[in-house]
């Protein structure tokens, strides 16, 4: 399987795409020939999460042998990296509603599912490409990616990682997770600004020829762990497939019966993996893209116009505070019928004017698979309160956005009796201030004290990664201007080259 760019005919091997992330023309890599309708319940039933992962990933990472893939999968998904033997357990709310819990990994967010495997894929690709340089992963994070990437790459030989997070935006718990990161090959820095600032400034450093030449001289190659990398994207297909198998096994749906999924969306990576699962043959009906007040995507699915010229809001669901969704370009590629010229034009429109539009016919076609919806912070907290009081189930703010969008849909009869799965993207305890407000509890100055109060009311114990975090020392507390990112990267390059 080779990978082509969304913007041209450029075509590369899986190992090249893994190592370089972005195509030379600025596009994203997609399969040259997508493996359509290759999965069925009969072939999947009885398989473990790990076996399903091998079945799915064998279609994409053809550059590795089955033995190599299986070894990587075994290292990524086991009882040391995930707190649940099912990896992604399904929680039933009632007969037509389930929650797929994607938050049982080391950092308690769904990013762990991809970032537990990604370092193995990347280092194996590095070997295949005979790349001798030290890798430096540069990542901008809206909160959860950074910590998951740091845990994934911590002390992995031949790799180093530097994470930038916006000083305004991440939750206090997310901040502590990053500030207290351990490992000899890691750096973390806050930047003044929001996530879009962090992402766009980092992209500028990443593509700066002088910076790259400097790094090259020092024996360092930049790479990215952002969700545009195929090594992040494809492992996410696996849990849509395992969710389908579990739904049938549990009798929630019958074999081949269609179900809808609602995905709390930011960079559009998670929901895109759901779309890929559908293309591979999983009977997903609608993929519902749930947004918070930064509802660029919800508006797009309503009007066919993607319009970034709007105010940016910091919300209760920080990992969805994004106006430029980096994986959206892959979606556009399929919306354009795999026409790279059209995608290239749309991306130029977006860059020049901050907007792009599809035709009414194109909108109608893509609404066969996708729908959008959004709710604000007040409603999000009301949803957390309602679901906790009525079902005894505690949602994190991102998952609550998806849940609220689902409630509104159900009220309008849009689910048409189909089973709905909510993708639960984070553990609620990553967001103590929002949870305590939603449950009308007292909020303490120290987020750990707030958690103790929440825990004593809900009876939900602190997961070990958070309980351990409280007593760890802060390693990274600096906060810099966007303009200083380049210098921060260069000085880490120096440190890496003097260590090597
Ligand atoms: C990253 C993240 C999202 C958004 O996922 P995308 O793949 O970027 O759309 C939603 N919720 C949480 C908790 C996240 O960490």
Q: What is the pLDDT of residue 179?
A: 95
Instruction: Record the tokens describing residue 460, joined without a space.
Output: 């939900």
Instruction: Kindly tell me the burial class for residue 187, based on how many C-beta atoms sit within 10 Å of its own C-beta (0-12, 13-18, 19 or more).
Output: buried
Q: What is d(CA 115, CA 95) in angstroms, rounded to the nearest whole number? A: 32
Pairing assessment for the beta strands 186-191 and 479-480 based on DSSP bridges: parallel
Q: What is the pLDDT of residue 500?
A: 66
pTM for the complete prediction? 0.95
Q: Measured in angstroms, how far is the CA atom of residue 219 from the centroid of ligand 1?
A: 33
Q: What is d(CA 300, CA 302) in angstroms, rounded to the nearest whole number? A: 5
Q: What is d(CA 11, CA 361) in angstroms, rounded to the nearest whole number? A: 30
Q: What is d(CA 361, CA 367) in angstroms, rounded to the nearest whole number? A: 10
CB atoms within 10 A of CB 236: 25
- Which residues are CB-neighbours of 95 under 8 A, at least 6 positions away? 252
Condensed to tens digits (0 to 9), the pLDDT of residues 78-90 reads 999 999 999 999 9
Pairing assessment for the beta strands 29-31 and 3-5 based on DSSP bridges: antiparallel
Instruction: Name the band, by pLDDT with cuts 50, 70 and 90, for residue 425.
Output: very high
Q: Measured in angstroms, how far is the CA atom of residue 425 from the centroid of ligand 1?
A: 6
Helices 328-335 and 340-353 cross at an angle (nearest 10°) of 130
Q: What is the mean pLDDT of residues 314-323?
A: 91
What stretch of H or E contains 186? strand 186-191
Condensed to tens digits (0 to 9), the pLDDT of residues 429-447 reads 999 999 999 999 988 999 9
Q: What is the pLDDT of residue 259?
A: 98
42, 111, 126, 368: which is the annotated catalytic residue? 111
Using alpha carbons, select from 194, 154, 148 the residue that is nearest to residue 170: 194
Q: What is the mean pLDDT of residues 456-478?
A: 93
Q: What is the pLDDT of residue 311?
A: 94
Nearest Cα residue to atom 2 of ligand 1: 319
Q: Measured in angstroms, how far is the CA atom of residue 288 from the centroid of ligand 1?
A: 14
Nearest Cα residue to atom 14 of ligand 1: 319
Instruction: Name the band, by pLDDT with cuts 50, 70 and 90, for residue 457.
Output: very high
Nearest Cα residue to atom 15 of ligand 1: 144
Protein residues with CB under 6 Å of any ligand 1 atom: 109-111, 144, 227, 264-270, 319-320, 398, 425-426
Q: Could you tell me the maximum CA-CA distance found in the chain, to the nearest angstrom?
A: 62
Residue 171 in contact with residue 146, Cβ under 8 Å?
no
Query: What's the mean pLDDT when you consider all of the chain?
Result: 95
pLDDT at residue 26 greater than cutoff 90: no
Q: Measured in angstroms, how far is the CA atom of residue 266 from the centroid of ligand 1?
A: 5
Query: Would residue 278 show up in a list of annotated catalytic residues for this protein?
Result: no
CA of 487: how far to CAs of 193, 204, 242, 417, in Å?
Answer: 17, 13, 44, 56
CA angle 37, 41, 46 (to 5 degrees): 135
Give 130-164 as a DSSP string.
Answer: T--SEEEEEEE-SSHHHHHHHHHHTT-TTEEEEEE
Q: What is the mean pLDDT of residues 139-156?
A: 89
Pairing assessment for the beta strands 186-191 and 90-94 based on DSSP bridges: unpaired
Condensed to tens digits (0 to 9), the pLDDT of residues 175-213 reads 999 999 999 999 999 999 888 788 888 888 888 999 999
pLDDT at residue 39 greater than cutoff 70: yes
Q: What is the mean pLDDT of residues 282-294?
A: 98
Using alpha carbons, select from 373, 308, 361 the residue that is nearest to residue 335: 361
The helix/strand/coil state of 353 is helix
pLDDT at residue 142 greater than cutoff 80: no
Instruction: Record the tokens describing residue 462, joined without a space.
Output: 């602190």
Using alpha carbons, select from 118, 49, 55 the residue that is nearest to residue 90: 49
Q: Which residues of 97-115 are buried (b: 16+ CB within 10 A; e: fewer)?
A: bbbbbbbbbbbbbbbbbbb
Give bridge partners of residue 222 from the DSSP assignment: 136
- Which residues are CB-neighbours of 32 under 8 A, at least 6 positions away? 1, 2, 3, 4, 11
Ligand 1 atom at minimum distance from 426 CA: 13
């Amino acid at each position: 399987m080779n990978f082509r760019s969304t913007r041209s005919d450029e075509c590369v091997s899986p190992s090249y795409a893994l190592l370089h992330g972005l195509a030379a023309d600025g596009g994203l890599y997609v399969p040259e020939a997508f493996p359509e309708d290759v999965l069925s319940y009969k072939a999947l039933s009885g398989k473990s999460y790990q076996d399903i992962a091998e079945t799915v990933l064998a279609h994409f990472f053809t550059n590795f042998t089955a033995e190599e893939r299986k070894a990587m999968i075994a290292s990524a998904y086991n009882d040391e990296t995930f707190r649940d033997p099912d990896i992604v357990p399904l929680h039933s709310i009632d007969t037509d509603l389930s929650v797929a819990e994607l938050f049982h990994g080391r950092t308690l967010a769904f990013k762990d599912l991809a970032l537990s495997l990604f370092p193995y894929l990347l280092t194996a690709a590095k070997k295949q490409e005979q790349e001798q340089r030290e890798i430096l992963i540069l990542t901008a994070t809206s909160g959860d990616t950074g910590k998951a990437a740091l845990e994934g790459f911590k002390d992995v030989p031949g790799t180093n990682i530097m994470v930038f997070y916006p000083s305004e935006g991440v939750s206090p718990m997310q901040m502590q997770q990053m500030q207290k990161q351990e490992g000899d090959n890691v750096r973390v820095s806050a930047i003044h600004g929001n996530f879009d600032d962090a992402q766009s400034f980092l992209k500028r450093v990443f593509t700066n020829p002088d910076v790259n030449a400097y790094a090259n001289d020092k024996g360092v190659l930049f790479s990215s762990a952002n969700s545009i990398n195929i090594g992040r994207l494809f492992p996410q297909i696996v849990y849509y497939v395992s969710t389908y198998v579990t739904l049938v096994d549990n009798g929630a749906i019958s074999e081949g019966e269609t179900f809808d999924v609602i995905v709390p969306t930011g960079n559009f990576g998670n929901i895109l993996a759901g779309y890929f699962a559908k293309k591979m043959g999983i009977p997903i009906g609608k993929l519902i893209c749930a947004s918070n007040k930064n509802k660029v995507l919800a508006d797009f699915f309503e009007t066919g116009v993607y319009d970034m010229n709007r105010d940016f809001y910091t919300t209760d669901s920080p990992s969805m505070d994004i106006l430029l969704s980096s994986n959206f370009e892959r979606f556009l590629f399929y919306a354009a019928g795999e026409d790279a010229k059209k995608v290239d034009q749309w991306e130029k429109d977006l860059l020049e004017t901050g907007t792009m539009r599809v035709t009414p016919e194109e909108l109608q076609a893509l609404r066969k698979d996708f729908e959008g919806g959004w709710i604000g912070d007040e409603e999000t907290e009301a949803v957390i309160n309602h679901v906790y009081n009525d079902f005894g189930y505690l949602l994190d703010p991102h998952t609550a956005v998806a849940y609220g969008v689902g409630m509104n849909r159900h009220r309008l009869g849009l689910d048409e009796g189909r089973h709905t799965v909510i993708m639960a993207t984070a553990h609620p305890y990553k967001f103590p201030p929002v949870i305590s407000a939603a449950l009308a509890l007292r909020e303490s100055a120290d987020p750990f004290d707030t958690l103790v109060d929440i825990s004593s009311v809900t009876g939900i114990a602190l997961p070990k990664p958070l309980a351990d975090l409280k007593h760890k020392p802060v390693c990274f507390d600096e906060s810099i201007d966007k303009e200083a990112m380049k210098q921060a990267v260069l000085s880490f390059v120096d440190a890496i080259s003097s260590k090597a």
